[in-house]
Structure 1
Amino acid sequence: MNDSTRENLGSRLGFILLTAGCAIGLGNIWRFPFICGQYGGAIFVLIYLFFLITLGYPVMVMELALGRASRRNIVGAYTVLPASGKRNWRRLGMLFFTGNIILMIFYTSVTGWMIAYACKYLSGSIAGLPAEKVGPFFNNFLASPGQMVGYMLITVVGSSLVCALGLRRGVERITKILMGCLLLLLFGLCIRSCLLPGAGEGLRFYLEPSLKSIQDVGLFNVIVAAMGQAFFTLSLGIGSIAIFGSYVDRTHSLAKESLMIIGLDTLVALLAGVIIFPACFSYGVDVDSGPGLIFVSLPNVFNHMAGGRWWGMLFFVFMSIAALTTVVAVFENLIGFMIDEWKFTRRRAAWINCAVIAVLSLPCALGYNLLQNIRPFGGNSTILDLEDYIVSDNILPLGGLLVVIFCSFRGAWGWENFIAEANTGHGLKFPNRARYYVCVVIPLFIAGLFLTALFRRWFL
């Protein structure tokens, strides 16, 4: 498909919001606050921001450059751009592209949880529950196969419908609306949280670095956690970013666009902490309570808050929107692959993906009830844990490493081609003098992240 027939985005704003929407998701708003709480608050935030710029930013510029130079999905880029060994690069691209499918088959279920809780707050079924019943309420929800599958299907079908409507009429238009609502809810919830009694103590924990935090957790653990969060929050390595680079023109440099995308992504993550930490400190909720922070701890906060039913509903609407923007973006990546490589029409690709992802998502949705005896890692592990491990600890870092290698070495696409594409257009230029850092230091960072996660998983 050539440039004259390929769909393109209607505006620069649409490109920035779509790409940021792909990055903005549960990694920012669910995972970031509880990881931040577990690893020392403000000191974690500072190290996270450092790695976001030094590691995440260059890889995002590279992935966008692959998409824009090839005008295709990430597999197509690995097929048409390399100087030699096209077949081998394509095979590697296909391997890491499967990360989109694996991501979807558990992310759709978790997104369904957010939608379910927004509906349950609206109906009033959570509001007013005593503290000792909030945890069992969540566990009973997970144990219900009908609810788990039902809300997963709402996510899959709704997102597929948005993509089927078209790139501009569906994906771009709906994402603009969703992102606008997300930002309005974000600022409204921040103001409400900061006005709670005792909110200042939570803000100090979140924003004032403390050496005691390092002593309690260990500097090495904080660094590893911050580096991992910075990389994973941007959804790099599997082509979810590259596909939107393929839809944008060459008016603006990719270094400039990447900074705006990362800035918006980071703003949402940081403000999510402004919502959560003052509320937790105000009502005496443990901030290092892990993944249960959202579904168990925060409902206890809302249930003690004046008007808590409605604030709880707005919070989970906010969470649902953040998750849905990522689901739509990754679905678009899968659909773009079918359109580019298999010449499917958009509607055919959308509904085939809808059916395939719905079926493949069933094990995760049933992993807390009918399939609860499947324990991939023993203990209380679930099918979701296995799928998350495959993507987060393996495909994402190794896929990101492949992007860097492909853009760095002459036998692949090469540094000169990457720099020329990245710096085409108006605005900030990616520095050519960063070549040694990008080609040597960043691969070592990513390899170190992967090996550290591997060691901690299997040997500690």
Structure 2
Amino acid sequence: MTKDIAAQKGKRDSFVSRWGYILACIGSAVGMGNIWMFPSRVSKYGGGSFLLPYFLFVIIIGFSGVIGEMAFGRATRSGPMDAFQKAVESRGWNGRIGKILGAVPVLGSLALAIGYSVVMGWILKYAVGSFTGSTLAPKNVDEFGASFGEMASSFGNNLWQIIGLLLVAVIMIAGISTGIEKVNKVMMPLFFAMFVGLAVYMLFQPGAIDGYRYMFSIDENIKNPVTWVYALGQAFFSLSLAGNGTLIYGSYLRDDENVIGSAWKVALFDTLAAMLAALVIIPAMASAGTSLFDGGPGLMFIHLPNLFKGMPGGTILVIIFFIAVFFAGITSLINLFEAPIATLQEVLHFTRAKAVAVILGIGTLVGLFIQAIVGEWMDAVSIYICPLGAGMAGIMFYWVFGPKFARKELQKGRKRKIGKWLEPMTMVVFCGLTAVVFVLGIVFQGIG
């Protein structure tokens, strides 16, 4: 089996630079959860009381789940279906079982991408509207809410949703090195630069210091189990673990790259993105003398535009904000679509262009019909499919291929020998956490 896997290397497109790969992984991880969910949870669960367990879970998951999916993809040079098949066949079992199981994270990635395409349509409309003036045209929060409600209704935003998918199609047809890698090399640095600029602006607003003080204080919430539950969910889903996106990007990675080194950089920059969003939004709310509203679309499309409208330079602020959010969103959407596209190339031997056309065609058709229920759609996928896919990928790599194989693959490209922490952290802690996330997601009806 090892020889069969090795024989396939060099036949697929790949990332041409280390930072191109890392930025693509960062782009896949940085998304709406960092921007519209993380700040609200920091606010709701006691600032530093939430940050401490969140940082802890990011470290644990980064050095177990993220490294595993990267190495799993690189070892098999394939997407989830073929990767799971190869893992099962390495034990002498029927590979068809692995292929069927691998379809779960592929379908989950497609379903999540379809829901995300609806959100990207909203973002694109607001980004363009920030230049034309329509984004800040409503006079008060009620009018902002009515405007968003109209857009988020059935078939309420068809044009911008289709335009967003066409942009994704152009990037993905170009391939990994000339499409995905190049786009992330531009968009991710710009995203961070724009949010740093927004954070610096908020630093000089009156009352912002109260927001900072709250963010980094610890209160009784640190003892609340619910705080830890949502910190776990935030870390898990923010790092894009689902047995699909990180795995497929790993399949395009060269053997001389250090997976563990790449993983900690992805975890670090994903956390920085979330912190930058919080450093913009929480001080802005404190400056306006308002409490942070519940996370989700309402925060980004209703309350923040209403807040920016009343601030000095609001027109510039809203332009920078929505362009940066667009960069974060489209890089995540590209990653979500890559797993099903690569699967059609591997399983049905479609050309890249044909696979993109089929998957984006399905995404467009289904996405237009779920505009009014996209929240429920995304919740169902994140609660039931994402942790299941991540858990199965962890079991396949760490248990079915086995600890010796996993250690050997993770050691590739790394000069320093991996310590004894690897097996307990990955086989026990991570695989156990995926089960915990799955159960808690059902109990709480979503923790991501």
Q: Give the TM-score category using the shorter length.
A: over 0.9
Q: Does the Cα contact within 8 Å between 2:39 and 2:277 map onto a contact in 1?
A: yes
1:185 aligns with 2:175: no
Q: Distance in 1 between matches of 2:299 and 2:208?
A: 17
SS at match of 2:370: helix
Aligned AA (1:29): I
Deviation at 1:104, TM superposition (A): 1.2
Counterpart of 2:429 in structure 1 is 441
Aligned AA (1:185): M
Quickly say closer, same or farther: Cα 1:126–1:356, change in 2 above 3 A: closer
Counterpart of 1:406 in structure 2 is 396
Aligned AA (1:140): E
TM-score by length of 2: 0.92
1:228 aligns with 2:233: yes
Counterpart of 2:445 in structure 1 is 457
Q: Does the Cα contact within 8 Å between 1:22 and 1:240 map onto a contact in 2?
A: yes
Counterpart of 1:202 in structure 2 is 211
Counterpart of 1:372 in structure 2 is none
Question: Which runs of 5 or more residues in structure 2 are unaligned?
Answer: 1-6
Quickly say closer, same or farther: Cα 1:401–1:308, change in 2 above 3 A: same
Aligned AA (1:346): R
Q: Distance in 2 between matches of 1:426 and 1:40?
A: 39
Quickly say closer, same or farther: Cα 1:306–1:427, change in 2 above 3 A: farther
1:97 aligns with 2:106: yes
Counterpart of 1:32 in structure 2 is 38
Q: Does the Cα contact within 8 Å between 1:66 and 1:74 map onto a contact in 2?
A: no
Q: Distance in 2 between matches of 1:348 and 1:4?
A: 22
Q: Distance in 1 between matches of 2:329 and 2:377?
A: 17
Higher mean C-alpha displacement, 73-82 vs 436-445: 436-445
Deviation at 1:50, TM superposition (A): 0.5
Q: Distance in 1 between matches of 2:39 and 2:415?
A: 33
Deviation at 1:96, TM superposition (A): 2.3
- Listed one character per residue, the Cα deviations across residues 383-436 of structure 1 (whole Å, up to 9, x for unaligned) are 223321222111111111112212232xx2111101100111135554333323
Q: Distance in 2 between matches of 1:281 and 1:392?
A: 31
Q: Of residues 283, 286, 301 in structure 2, which corresponds to 1:295?
A: 301
Q: Does the Cα contact within 8 Å between 1:61 and 1:255 map onto a contact in 2?
A: yes
Counterpart of 1:373 in structure 2 is none
Q: Distance in 1 between matches of 2:242 and 2:332?
A: 15
Counterpart of 2:4 in structure 1 is none
Q: Does the Cα contact within 8 Å between 1:104 and 1:330 map onto a contact in 2?
A: yes
Q: Of residues 103, 107, 120 in structure 2, which corresponds to 1:111?
A: 120
Quickly say closer, same or farther: Cα 1:427–1:277, change in 2 above 3 A: farther
Q: Sequence identity of aligned pairs in percent? A: 29
SS at match of 2:421: helix
- Listed one character per residue, the Cα deviations across residues 311-334 of structure 1 (whole Å, up to 9, x for unaligned) are 112101111110100011222222
TM-score by length of 1: 0.90
Counterpart of 2:48 in structure 1 is 42
Q: Distance in 2 between matches of 1:34 and 1:48?
A: 14
Q: Does the Cα contact within 8 Å between 2:42 and 2:51 map onto a contact in 1?
A: yes
Aligned AA (2:250): G
Deviation at 1:131, TM superposition (A): 3.5
1:120 aligns with 2:129: yes
- Listed one character per residue, the Cα deviations across residues 186-208 of structure 1 (whole Å, up to 9, x for unaligned) are 11111111111111101111122
Q: Distance in 2 between matches of 1:428 and 1:16?
A: 20
Deviation at 1:145, TM superposition (A): 2.5
- Listed one character per residue, the Cα deviations across residues 122-160 of structure 1 (whole Å, up to 9, x for unaligned) are 1112336234422222222223735x1212111211101
Aligned AA (1:309): T
Q: Of residues 360, 366, 372 in structure 1, which corresponds to 2:366?
A: 360
Q: Distance in 2 between matches of 1:116 and 1:35?
A: 26
Deviation at 1:26, TM superposition (A): 0.9
Deviation at 1:263, TM superposition (A): 0.9
Deviation at 1:456, TM superposition (A): 2.8
Q: Distance in 1 between matches of 2:385 and 2:415?
A: 32
Q: Distance in 2 between matches of 1:113 and 1:427?
A: 46
Counterpart of 1:81 in structure 2 is 87
Q: Does the Cα contact within 8 Å between 1:256 and 1:428 map onto a contact in 2?
A: no
1:167 aligns with 2:157: no
Q: Does the Cα contact within 8 Å between 2:65 and 2:394 map onto a contact in 1?
A: yes
Quickly say closer, same or farther: Cα 1:428–1:338, change in 2 above 3 A: farther
SS at match of 1:20: helix
Aligned AA (1:138): F
Q: Does the Cα contact within 8 Å between 1:238 and 1:395 map onto a contact in 2?
A: no
Counterpart of 2:256 in structure 1 is 251
- Listed one character per residue, the Cα deviations across residues 343-376 of structure 1 (whole Å, up to 9, x for unaligned) are 21111111122211111112222x2xxxxxxxxx
Counterpart of 1:386 in structure 2 is 376
SS at match of 1:145: coil
Aligned AA (1:104): A
Q: Distance in 1 between matches of 2:303 and 2:195?
A: 19
Counterpart of 2:24 in structure 1 is 18
Q: Distance in 1 between matches of 2:14 and 2:133?
A: 43
SS at match of 2:245: coil
Q: Does the Cα contact within 8 Å between 1:67 and 1:244 map onto a contact in 2?
A: yes
- Listed one character per residue, the Cα deviations across residues 439-458 of structure 1 (whole Å, up to 9, x for unaligned) are 22333322222212212339
Counterpart of 2:413 in structure 1 is 425
Q: Distance in 2 between matches of 1:96 and 1:323?
A: 20
Counterpart of 2:60 in structure 1 is 54
Q: Of residues 144, 153, 160 in structure 2, which corresponds to 1:143?
A: 153
Q: Of residues 259, 265, 268 in structure 2, which corresponds to 1:260?
A: 265
Q: Does the Cα contact within 8 Å between 2:109 and 2:340 map onto a contact in 1?
A: yes
Q: Of residues 277, 281, 284 in structure 2, which corresponds to 1:279?
A: 284
Deviation at 1:180, TM superposition (A): 2.1
Q: Distance in 2 between matches of 1:266 and 1:450?
A: 22
What is the root-mean-square deviation in Å for CA atoms of aligned residues?
1.9
Count of residue pairs brought into register by the alignment: 435
Q: Does the Cα contact within 8 Å between 1:104 and 1:361 map onto a contact in 2?
A: no
Q: Distance in 2 between matches of 1:391 and 1:132?
A: 31
